[in-house]
Amino acid sequence: MNLQGRTLFITGASRGIGLAIAKRAAADGANIVVAAKTAEPNPKLPGTIYSAAEAIRAAGGQALPLQVDIREEEGVLAAVAQAVLTFGGIDILVNNASAIGLGDTEHTPMKRYDLMNGINARGTYLCTQAVLPELKKSAAAGRNAHVLNMSPPLSMKTHWFAPHTAYTMAKYGMSMCTLGHAGEFRPYGIAVNSLWPRTAIATAALQMIPGVDLGACRKPEILADAAYLILTSDAKDPNNTGNFHIDDTLLAAHGQTDLERYSVTPGTRQFVPDFFVD
């Protein structure tokens, strides 16, 4: 099974992990809806929906760049409608867009709290709701419908909350969507899963967090390859829905244990660990 001819609606696909997943799918000849906010170049965060579309086409896929703020319902619904008009439907939703803020309660303004929860938890729910009618059609047509949330396993332990309660709530909101929607959509044959990295991933956004050694991280391609395994699995198999996958564990389960090519710095043995992995 591959992704040839499938249509993926990927949020936050203008750069980083979202773009890496898009390019991996494009290599099969997939159609990619690049649903992201950045339409004008930003010197601090390189990549726009248009540069992403060019990269996707160069990788072998078709691309539809759409400027979307996933906090705005009308904009999301319009993007879904445009995607269906262009490609005839949607088979896969990747909820990748996310906002981060690592402050404690005293130093997290409500504006940042609202941003994180609006994009991470609410945005994931909204996009899933908006795309669901198309996913039902895809599943009924035997096109292997999937939802993939880029969110961590649910680990209700104090040490994952105490340093940044607001951020943890927002990311776990995405994961609760996985838990609930996997059960809710199972009768339709739509698989819903989460994917999360064991190590920090070298992205432009990570560069904005002080003190992170990008040389001790892995490349976004490790998540792209792990996501590909999920999105090409049989969505109607009950074992393939409701999972909280960790990238290297999933790759190892498929016989891929040499992860050297994903290292930013060749030969690295001590990586920066990501949050939420016990």
- The phi and psi torsions of 264 (rounded to 5 degrees) equal -65, -45
The token duo for 66 is 């759409």
Residue type at 147 in one-letter notation: V
Q: How far apart are CA 150 and CA 126, in angstroms?
A: 15
Q: What is the 3-state secondary structure of 132-166?
A: HHHHHHHHHCCCCCEEEECCCCCCCCHHHHCCCHH
| 105 burial type by CB count under 10 A (0-12 exposed, 13-18 middle, 19+ buried) | exposed
Which residues are designated catalytic? 167
